[in-house]
Amino acid sequence: MGLFDQIVGAINNPNQEGSNSQLGNILGTVQQLSGNLGGDAGATQAAMSILGGHVRSALQQKREESGSTGVQEFINQFAGTTPNPLAVASLFSSSQITDIVQSISEKTGFDISQIQNLLPTLVPVILNLLKTGNDQNSDQASNNVLNSFLDADGDGDVDIADVMGMAGRFLG
């Protein structure tokens, strides 16, 4: 089952945290960011896909270090739709941030300063998307959305942008 299917399942499951309003807030934030960047939705989607791959790697590393519960606690702490530079600094080292910014800039044409300004919003938004699978009745790390994201086939294709597009159609 794909990541988007897991998110829709979480929205439809009353025992999980996901809701149409949470997904709508996430999409609204992404659309606002795209508008702030001159309305280039394709480049914004590319930036999200690239960043999604880096978030996955960092969360997989966190899972190796602190287990599934540690990753879930991290997501619960930093998920949101407002800028949070601490989320970025807690997930990535400064050299990783530099590499991510350069990679996104090369592939999207966005200015490095634009990307540096985007990261504190996009990282919490991606984490918020992963938070939709939280089980409201358990403190355990039983988040099927997060597990689907982290246990993907490793093909490097973390298409958060595709998930956002499907979510927009789902809500529309």
Q: What is the pLDDT of residues 34-87, one digit of tens each?
A: 777 666 677 777 888 899 999 999 999 999 999 888 999 999 999 998 999 999
Give residue 74's pLDDT: 95
pLDDT band at 12 (very low <50, low <70, confident <90, very high): confident
Reported for 44-48, long-range contacts at CB under 8 A and 24+ positions apart, including other chains, are: 44/108, 44/161, 45/161, 45/164, 45/165, 46/104, 46/107, 46/108, 46/161, 47/104, 47/107, 47/108, 47/110, 47/115, 47/118, 47/122, 48/122, 48/126, 48/160, 48/161, 48/164
Q: Which residue has the higher pLDDT, 130 or 31?
A: 130
Give residue 156's pLDDT: 43
The rounded percent of the chain whose pLDDT value lies above 70 is: 82
Please give the Cα distance from 67 to 73 (Å, whole number). 10
Predicted TM-score (pTM) of the model is 0.81
Residue 171 has pLDDT above 70, yes or no: no
Q: Which residue has the higher pLDDT, 146 or 137?
A: 146
